[in-house]
A and B are shown apart, each in its own frame.
Chain A
Amino acid sequence: MEAYLDNSATTRCSGRAVELMVRILSEDYGNPSSLHSMGARAEAYIKEAKKKIARTLKASEKEIVFTSGGTESNNLAIFGSAEAKKRAGNHIVTTAVEHASVAQPMQRLEELGYRVTYLPVDASGTVLRDALEDALDEETILVSMMHVNNEIGTIEPVEAAAELIHKKAPHALFHVDAIQSYGKLPVYPKKAGIDLLSVSGHKIHGPKGVGFLYIRDKAGIKPVLYGGGQQKGMRSGTENVPAIAALGEAAAECFEGLFANAEAMYGLREYFIREALKIPGVTVNGKMGREAAPHIVSVSAEGVRSEVLLHSLEEEGIYVSAGSACSSNKPSVSRTLAAIGLKKELLDATVRFSFCRDTTKEEIEYALARLAEIIPFRRKFTRK
């Protein structure tokens, strides 16, 4: 049996998205900027994708800008805001648990002279309201906070944060990295007071190499890429039409079953956690119930190195991540796990299981059964 439980790393592309993509690649391959009918047909696909996505966010079509994926969306949001707002102040607020595609741009902005405050989190990974309140001031031009933590699944209180930000820092734009939440949980940026929102295609059963940034009308950020002036100058470069169309389709498909899928995944998550905790020496990080995303479970197994656990599961056809998949090539300590104050022995003994709408109870039961065998066995063999 196989169980792909690494859906927060990437998901399988949906059949509807693939079909659309192939058709555009082989038949409607025009350049959307071309004046002839081939171009017009290509442009229509982009419009259609925008319409589908705008509907999922209760936003306007003109507020969607397509990018090459989550990393570019985050970079555009951060550098684009910093540049646009540089006269209003030079203070930026973010959190200690952001993904590298937020944390690294922040580090770059510090090198460029911006003052960046990193908000601490509690043991569940939740940003503290008081810390945010204290950090905000008249100089603050940007706050960047993730919606769902990619490593432990904790949902950050973005709506409460938005209220506070707009009250205390009138010049600040509020950016939310929704890469792990979009398509799993409802998020309506306008209602929530979010100015910028990043999404990646391949986390929601779309293709890799595409994503979008929601930019609230009149938010006024600056582009990062300059060139042919596509997408109203916000993101130059010929649009990746097949991927954009497929992303639109994948997004629509996700939202068709949003609440039912979330319910089903919450059921699996609760079952998984309950059973996993029965294995001696196992703990689960982050939050339980509805304060966490439905699809991410972070499991620590004392005395079993995460890489060994990962490869042991792999031998059984179960695919998971050690810490965060994006940083799995570097044996570095996860910032999130360090920030929640995880015991030192557990930092390198933690794996992430992540589900999707296609994950079945059988797969979860299979993974749990193997986990219950592997953990006590591997624990016997440790470096002395």
Chain B
Amino acid sequence: MYKSFLIKYGEIAIKGKNRYLFEEALVRQIRYALAGADGTFEVRRLQGRIYVDAKDYDYDEVLEALSHVFGIVGICPVVLTEDAGFDALVRDVTAYVDQAYPDKNRTFKVHARRARKNYPMDSMELNAALGEKLLEAFPKLRVDVHHPDILLCVEIREKINIYSVEIPGPGGMPVGTNGRAMLLLSGGIDSPVAGYMIAKRGVAIDAVYFHAPPYTSERAKQKVVDLARIVSRYAGPIRLHIVNFTEIQLQIYEKCPHAELTIIMRRYMMKIAEHFAKEDHCLGLVTGESIGQVASQTMQSLAATNAVCTLPVYRPLIGFDKKEIIDISEKIDAYETSILPFEDCCTIFVAKHPVTKPNLRVIERSEQRLGEAIDALVKTAVETAETVCVEAGEG
């Protein structure tokens, strides 16, 4: 029965002169989200509202797609009609209620709004008149102005909007309105969630993944591509840089104290990630770290890895417990993929007793043992990196 959806957005409506930028971004993200859904869709802005007109579509599929678009606060399946006088309006509203609610044993309230002030009746008059006509048409209906089962919205605009259902959207801000960041993506549970969280605030994402063949496999790499694709359902297209980290790792293994391996390795990952971040015009790095989760995520370790970066490092999960992270991972459908048992390169050489309170000066001294050889290895790793563009639709 619905040919259109009214998209409600909250936060972005208050952004003053930048408003059109936010609306444009939201329209773009809605189009991106609907690209994979069956049907034809037109997304249009009209008088400070966004409508999706849909043809030959699947209702559940459209709601699922729209629920991935940050910036949407509510989705209202809406009936749009031309203004052809009050009697026609009564007919349309009655038909709407009849179709939408086969069981009439409910309470309702009419909530009329007159955005177009030249309409002959004001909203109070409309509420009363439409309520009366509905009671006449459906004797089982009852009025409840405080807690109605059905809140029937009738808005008089260029066209008349009739709707009574609002499905909550994901909130946040449309991706692309708050710059771009580089996500350090591993095959684990945390980093895809971190990407999701940062995207929720309107930040577009690129990502970097470190693999270490032959210690990690082709399947581990494919898993990360799959995870990037899951995040891209929310974050839009992601440029994923795949860096071969093996030689750097082996060099660190041979030259540095074993207990410091993970910290030093993470410092080199940050350096390389920052290189790609600057190349891609990113304004910061994003990691899935949370304080104290593992040895490399103590306050001291985070400080030691942070020290190599000049860009800000955002850690959206910093105060989250594992359980909370897993809940979000499940919500965004990443968990099943994250727990596939392929080794990732952070764990292959992990020491039995890694340092948990690294001293930056000590770490820097250990790194000096890597000599100039390491710079050449980093250069090669950067130059030989493979870049793929991951979008939600494919695969």
Render B187-217 as a binary contact track against A, CB cut-off 8 A, 1 for contact: 0000000000000000000000000011111
Return B75 CB to nearest CB of chain A, in Å: 40
Contact A384 B250 (CB under 8 A): no
Whole-angstrom CA separation of A384 from B254 in the bound complex: 12
From known contacts A307-B343, A330-B341, A331-B341, infer whether A383 and B215 are also in contact, taking CB-CB under 8 Å.
no
Determine, out of B80-88, B90-98, B346-354, the stretch whose residues face the partner at the interface: B346-354
Whole-angstrom CA separation of A140 from B253 in the bound complex: 57
* Interface of chain A residues 276 through 300 with chain B (CB within 8 A): none
Residues of A within 8 A of B254 (CB): 380
In the complex formed, the residue of A with least CB distance to B261 is A384
Say yes or no for B142: interface residue by CB 8 A criterion: no
Contact A383 B350 (CB under 8 A): yes
Contact B214 A311 (CB under 8 A): yes
Render A299-322 as a binary contact track against B, CB cut-off 8 A, 1 for contact: 000000001111110110000000
In the complex formed, the residue of B with least CB distance to A382 is B349
Residues of B within 8 A of A331 (CB): 341
Contact B213 A384 (CB under 8 A): no
Q: Interface size on B (CB < 8 Å)?
A: 16
Render A322-336 as a binary contact track against B, CB cut-off 8 A, 1 for contact: 000000011100000
Residues of B within 8 A of A312 (CB): 214
- A312, A330, A331, A384 — which one has the most chain B CB atoms within 10 A of its CB? A384
Say yes or no for B28: interface residue by CB 8 A criterion: no
Among B215, B351, B352, which residue has its beta carbon within 8 angstroms of that of A311?
Answer: B215
From known contacts A307-B343, A331-B341, infer whether A383 and B349 are also in contact, taking CB-CB under 8 Å.
yes
Contact A311 B349 (CB under 8 A): no
Render B250-268 as a binary contact track against A, CB cut-off 8 A, 1 for contact: 1001100010000000000
Whole-angstrom CA separation of A310 from B217 in the bound complex: 9
Return A229 CB to nearest CB of chain B, in Å: 40
Contact A311 B217 (CB under 8 A): yes
Render B329-347 as a binary contact track against A, CB cut-off 8 A, 1 for contact: 0000000000001010000
Residues of B within 8 A of A307 (CB): 217, 343
Whole-angstrom CA separation of A76 from B151 in the bound complex: 61
From known contacts A307-B343, A330-B341, A331-B341, infer whether A381 and B250 are also in contact, taking CB-CB under 8 Å.
yes
Whole-angstrom CA separation of A311 from B343 in the bound complex: 12
Residues of B within 8 A of A315 (CB): 213-214
Return B322 CB to nearest CB of chain A, in Å: 22
Among A310, A314, A384, which residue has its beta carbon within 8 angstroms of that of B351?
Answer: A384
Main secondary structure on chain B at its contact with chain A?
Answer: loop
Contact B214 A383 (CB under 8 A): no
Whole-angstrom CA separation of A383 from B216 in the bound complex: 14
Whole-angstrom CA separation of A311 from B348 in the bound complex: 14
Whole-angstrom CA separation of A381 from B216 in the bound complex: 14
Count, A-B residue pairs, CB within 8 A: 31
Residues of B within 8 A of A384 (CB): 258, 351-352
Whole-angstrom CA separation of A311 from B350 in the bound complex: 19
Main secondary structure on chain A at its contact with chain B?
Answer: helix
Residues of B within 8 A of A330 (CB): 341
Whole-angstrom CA separation of A311 from B217 in the bound complex: 7
Return B302 CB to nearest CB of chain A, in Å: 24
Contact B341 A308 (CB under 8 A): no
Whole-angstrom CA separation of A312 from B246 in the bound complex: 12
In the complex formed, the residue of A with least CB distance to B349 is A383
Contact A311 B213 (CB under 8 A): yes
- B214, B216, B343, B351 — which one has the most chain A CB atoms within 10 A of its CB? B214
Whole-angstrom CA separation of A381 from B348 in the bound complex: 10
Whole-angstrom CA separation of A315 from B215 in the bound complex: 11
Return B346 CB to nearest CB of chain A, in Å: 13
Render A258-280 as a binary contact track against B, CB cut-off 8 A, 1 for contact: 00000000000000000000000
Whole-angstrom CA separation of A96 from B343 in the bound complex: 29
Contact B341 A314 (CB under 8 A): no
Whole-angstrom CA separation of A315 from B213 in the bound complex: 8
Return A83 CB to nearest CB of chain B, in Å: 36
In the complex formed, the residue of A with least CB distance to B340 is A329
Contact A381 B350 (CB under 8 A): no
Contact A381 B349 (CB under 8 A): yes
Return B392 CB to nearest CB of chain A, in Å: 26
Contact B253 A381 (CB under 8 A): yes
Whole-angstrom CA separation of A110 from B350 in the bound complex: 41
Return A25 CB to nearest CB of chain B, in Å: 28
Residues of A within 8 A of B217 (CB): 307, 311
Residues of A within 8 A of B349 (CB): 381, 383
Return A109 CB to nearest CB of chain B, in Å: 29
Residues of A within 8 A of B350 (CB): 383
Return B308 CB to nearest CB of chain A, in Å: 24
Residues of B within 8 A of A311 (CB): 213-217
In the complex formed, the residue of B with least CB distance to A383 is B349
Whole-angstrom CA separation of A330 from B253 in the bound complex: 28
In the complex formed, the residue of A with least CB distance to B347 is A383
Residues of B within 8 A of A383 (CB): 348-352
Residues of A within 8 A of B258 (CB): 384
Whole-angstrom CA separation of A10 from B348 in the bound complex: 30
Residues of A within 8 A of B215 (CB): 308, 311
In the complex formed, the residue of A with least CB distance to B213 is A311
Whole-angstrom CA separation of A127 from B320 in the bound complex: 54
Contact A308 B250 (CB under 8 A): no
Residues of B within 8 A of A310 (CB): 214
In the complex formed, the residue of B with least CB distance to A310 is B214
Whole-angstrom CA separation of A312 from B250 in the bound complex: 14
Whole-angstrom CA separation of A330 from B340 in the bound complex: 9
Whole-angstrom CA separation of A357 from B308 in the bound complex: 56
Whole-angstrom CA separation of A311 from B213 in the bound complex: 7
Residues of A within 8 A of B352 (CB): 383-384
Residues of A within 8 A of B341 (CB): 329-331
Whole-angstrom CA separation of A14 from B124 in the bound complex: 82
Return A225 CB to nearest CB of chain B, in Å: 31
Contact B253 A308 (CB under 8 A): no
Return A353 CB to nearest CB of chain B, in Å: 17
Render B216-233 as a binary contact track against A, CB cut-off 8 A, 1 for contact: 110000000000000000
Return B248 CB to nearest CB of chain A, in Å: 13
* Interface of chain A residues 204 through 241 with chain B (CB within 8 A): none
Whole-angstrom CA separation of A310 from B214 in the bound complex: 8
Whole-angstrom CA separation of A348 from B37 in the bound complex: 45
13 inter-chain pairs at a CB distance below 8 angstroms, sorted by A residue, are A307-B217, A308-B214, A308-B215, A311-B214, A314-B214, A329-B341, A378-B214, A381-B250, A381-B253, A381-B349, A383-B350, A384-B258, A384-B352
Chain B positions within 8 Å of A, measured between CB atoms, are 213-217, 250, 253-254, 258, 341, 343, 348-352
- Known interface pairs A311-B214, A312-B214; 20 further A-B residue pairs with C-beta atoms within 8 A, sorted by A's residue number: A307-B217, A307-B343, A308-B214, A308-B215, A309-B214, A311-B213, A311-B215, A311-B216, A314-B214, A315-B213, A330-B341, A331-B341, A378-B214, A380-B254, A381-B250, A381-B253, A381-B349, A384-B258, A384-B351, A384-B352
